């Protein structure tokens, strides 16, 4: 029994030609539209042609996303048990049609030629193999199958700075790879593709961990936590030492580390982005900040942005977020609680490349700079959200 089907063909004329070569004249029906293929064939043959056309379309789609240089490449591709027994001649014919050199082994086929043709064959083999697996599962039951897959993997800023390592890993796993700025397209055995995905996850996790604050509690996986720091700890001593450099007459009564996962993820992303684009200016500081009449909890608990420039006040350096290296300066902007004790932040701030302060009404850093610095005073002003994080809330009062 024959089935009639009209297929839309790829726009590329070379791909159309190769598709038509796979169809016998007696299988074709007249069709005035050269971008379509009208055929009448048995069901099994229809399915075979369908997957061949889909493979060519996928190859064309990939080629349209990125222009591939016509240099010679060599690619080693695994052969699934479902195709390597009965279809070797058919596979060889596709390779010859693409004018590729090849070496056929028991479990792999090695193809060599222009990168465009190699990619077309890879896409076709991927589709053809998946079709063979679905059609011959029962016949090959009991064999350890080698599933071929093709995955689009989104790349973050944590990956882009490690491209060389990722390429090396993919090549060692015998994966076909194509990359744009933020997407990696890989083809190969399912287990190897999953191994590469796990490798990318580890790269991102390690990069993030390196940028987290020194005393961050990774065992606390809550989305939000206020953690009181023990007064006999190294962490407390670090903050207390910086505080008392200019505030010796005051005493820290409570130190709270703020762990807000959403805000920290945004801050870490900013840090790594700066490492990617301008590593030579990477500059991160712990600085004090007072909130005056605004309750600090509004910033670290109730806000999606943390320190938000939308609510910043105008100062000598314009509308920005003002931070100080000396606690005594921020004491002038302290928040007073209902118990008549005081609060200020000890914040994690990305200062980056700092421009010298000049009295102005600006609302952004000068071109090429990340912040403004008041020289000698150790004050920094930033003009963007997610470039600072409210790491510690300091409760303090007068007296030693």
Q: What pLDDT digit, counting tens, does each position of 342-382 carry?
A: 999 999 999 999 999 887 777 888 889 999 999 888 899 99
pLDDT in tens, 214-234: 999 988 888 999 999 999 999
Q: Which residue would you say has higher pLDDT here, 62 or 328?
A: 328
Percent of the chain with pLDDT over 90: 35
User: Read out DSSP for 312-345?
Assistant: PPEETTEESEEEESSHHHHHTTPEEPTTS-EEEE
Q: Where in the chain is the domain with CATH 3.90.228.10?
A: 224-398
With residue 253 as reference, give the H or E element that holds it: strand 250-260
Task: Give pLDDT, residue 89.
Answer: 79
Whose structure tokens read 């071109």? 367
Over the stretch 83-120, which tens digit does the pLDDT of each residue have?
Answer: 655 677 778 888 888 788 888 887 788 888 887 678 77
Q: Give the count of alpha carbons within 13 A of 291, CB side only.
A: 25
> What angle do the packed helices 88-97 and 115-135 form, to 10 degrees?
160
Is residue 297 pLDDT above 90, yes or no? yes
Question: For the chain, where do the domains classified as CATH 3.30.1370 start and end?
Answer: 149-211
Expressed in angstroms, the distance from the first to the final Cα of the chain is 96
Is residue 145 helix, strand or coil? coil
Highest mean pLDDT out of 90-104, 194-208, 250-264, 365-379: 250-264
CATH number of 149-211: 3.30.1370
Contact 28, 38 (CB under 8 A): yes
More confidently predicted of 257 and 42:
257
Instruction: Output the pLDDT for position 144.
Output: 37
Q: What is the pLDDT of residues 32-58, one digit of tens each?
A: 677 788 888 787 777 777 777 777 776
For residue 211, the 8-state DSSP code is H
| Range scoring the smallest mean pLDDT among 188-192, 278-282, 379-383 | 188-192
CATH of domain 224-398: 3.90.228.10
Helix (H, G, I), strand (E, B) or coil at 394: strand
**CA dist., res. 171 & res. 181, Å (int):** 19
């Amino acid at each position: 029994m024959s089935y009639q089907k009209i297929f839309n063909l790829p726009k590329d004329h070379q791909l159309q030609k190769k598709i038509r070569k796979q169809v016998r004249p007696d299988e074709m029906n007249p069709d005035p539209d050269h971008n379509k293929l009208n055929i009448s064939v048995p069901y099994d043959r229809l399915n075979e042609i369908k997957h061949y056309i889909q493979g060519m379309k996928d190859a064309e789609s990939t080629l349209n996303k990125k222009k591939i240089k016509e240099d010679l490449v060599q690619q080693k591709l695994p052969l699934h048990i479902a195709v390597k027994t009965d279809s070797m001649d058919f596979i060889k014919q596709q390779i010859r049609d693409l004018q590729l050199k090849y070496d056929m082994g028991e479990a792999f086929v090695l193809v060599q030629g222009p990168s465009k043709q190699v990619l077309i064959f890879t896409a076709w083999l991927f589709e053809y193999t998946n079709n063979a697996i679905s059609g011959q599962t029962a016949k090959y039951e009991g064999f350890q199958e080698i599933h071929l897959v093709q995955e689009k993997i989104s790349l973050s800023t944590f990956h882009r700075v490690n491209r060389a390592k990722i390429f090396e890993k993919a090549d060692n796993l015998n994966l076909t790879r194509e990359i744009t700025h933020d997407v990696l397209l890989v083809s190969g055995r399912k287990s190897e593709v999953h191994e590469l995905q796990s490798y990318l996850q580890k790269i991102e996790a390690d990069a993030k961990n390196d940028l987290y604050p020194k005393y961050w509690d990774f065992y606390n996986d809550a989305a939000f936590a206020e953690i009181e720091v023990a007064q006999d700890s190294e962490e407390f001593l670090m903050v207390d030492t910086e505080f008392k450099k200019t505030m010796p007459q005051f005493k820290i009564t409570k130190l709270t580390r703020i762990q807000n996962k959403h805000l920290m993820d945004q801050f870490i992303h900013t840090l790594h982005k700066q490492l990617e684009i301008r590593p030579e200016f990477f500059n991160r500081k712990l600085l004090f900040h007072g909130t005056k009449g605004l309750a600090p909890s509004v910033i670290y608990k109730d806000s999606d942005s943390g320190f938000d420039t939308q609510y910043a006040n105008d100062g000598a350096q314009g509308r920005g977020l003002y931070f100080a290296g000396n606690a005594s300066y921020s004491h002038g902007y302290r928040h007073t609680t209902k118990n008549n004790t005081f609060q200020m932040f000890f914040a994690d701030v990305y200062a980056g490349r700092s421009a010298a302060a000049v009295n102005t009404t600006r609302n952004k850093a000068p071109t090429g700079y990340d912040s403004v610095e008041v020289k000698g005073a150790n004050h920094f002003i930033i003009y963007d959200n997610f470039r600072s994080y409210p790491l510690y809330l300091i409760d303090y009062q007068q007296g030693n």
